[in-house]
Structure formats: structure tokens, C-alpha cells
Chains A and B, each alone.
Chain A
Amino acid sequence: NAGVTQTPKFQVLKTGQSMTLQCAQDMNHNSMYWYRQDPGMGLRLIYYSASEGTTDKGEVPNGYNVSRLNKREFSLRLESAAPSQTSVYFCASSVAGRGGRETQYFGPGTRLLVL
């Protein structure tokens, strides 16, 4: 099992360029998430997908779009990148454990620099 994989690992963009961050999980989890991590801010939820075919906004969705392509894949798109989107992006998937509460499993992250 590879767990949660993310591509690319690192990307440099110019302001206004677009790109898609890819995420895939092989654990048959229903729920998937995108977070960003900024210095002094912890991880903040951008979007999540509770199941295939559904997506919902998190704390900081502005400037992003997502696609839950199938149960395995959840992509994050920046249509017009801005320097404020320079961050480390983490994808996660989750499974309900005992008591029905979700536990998240994270990918290794994508470092994005917007110039």
C-alpha cells in the first residue's frame, strides 16, 4: 500500500499561472481533504469530499477548485495563482474507526512557490 500520494512534490509558478495538484489514495477511504500549511497558522482545510461525487468548502476555499474524480483521486486546482497561495499543500483521506469517528492519513505534501 502506498497510502496517500501527491504530485508534484515541488512546483514554482508565476502569478496568474494555473496548475492542478494531484492526490490519490489506495486505502479505499470514502473521505478526502486538501489542507494548506503556512508558518504560524497550522493546517487549514481548503476543501473536502465526504464521498465520491460530493465536495464541500473548508475554512479557506477562495482561489481554489477541487474535483473528486473517483473514489481514489481528489485534485486541487489553482486557476490563477497568487503569491498568497505560496504554501505547503497536504492531501489526506480518512476512515471511521471505533466509535465512528474519522482518522486522517496524510500525503507527503506539495511545496508550492508563487512568484
Chain B
Amino acid sequence: DQQVKQNSPSLSVQEGRISILNCDYTNSMFDYFLWYKKYPAEGPTFLISISSIKDKNEDGRFTVFLNKSAKHLSLHIVPSQPGDSAVYFCAASGRTGNQFYFGTGTSLTVIP
């Protein structure tokens, strides 16, 4: 049973426009959320995180929004660049341990 869901397997965006990647979760005990970026044949790399005490966290071109009531988070990339083309995973964890639950990923293609 997938506790973290990314319902869009792929997304294409023009260079310079906004990319919005979505993630939903079912476990109300999750209170910490992360986004990872993955290039082919490499491991995921950490991008940005957000704690449930916030509803927004920003780092340069990347902003994560958290809507706790909807159990939904999104990653906004503005402006999108061709180098952003990768698979993006969202992940969630609760207070009680080191267990992280990952979504299935969204493949982003930024078209030059």
C-alpha cells in the first residue's frame, strides 16, 4: 500500500516556464517531507525539504508547498532549465524513526 503517491509519471515543460510536481500522502503521522532529484545511472540527490510546522520552503529556484489538510505537497521550479530534466521523488517520514517512504517518481523533461 503506497503511502506516498506521485500520480503523474511524466511532465514536459518549456524552458523558462514553471514546473509543478505533485505528491500526495496518506499517513497523517508524516511530519517531514523531502524532494530528491535523480539522473539516469546515478543515485538520488537531496533537493529540498519541509517540516509540517511550515507550509512553504524556498531554496533558489525551488519552492516546496505543503497543504497538511489535503495531505498534499508540491515542488515548484521557476524558471525551469534543461538541466532540471530528471526524475523527481518525494519522500516522507514520521517522528518515530529513520524510515522514509518514497513516491514512484515523476520524470520531468524541460524542452529547450
Contact = CB atoms under 8 A, between A and B. Distances in A.
Interface of A: 4, 31, 33, 35, 40-45, 48, 50, 56, 58-59, 90, 92, 94, 97, 99, 101-109
A36 to B, nearest CB: 11
Contacts of A56: 97-98
A50 B103 contact: no
Contacts of A99: 51
Contacts of B36: 106
B46 A105 contact: yes
Contacts of A45: 99-101
A22 to B, nearest CB: 15
B44 A106 contact: yes
Given A42-B103, A42-B105, A43-B89, A102 B44 contact: no
Nearest to B34: A103
B89 A42 contact: yes
B104 A40 contact: yes
B43 A109 contact: yes
B4 A104 contact: no
Contacts of A104: 34, 46, 100
Contacts of B51: 99, 101
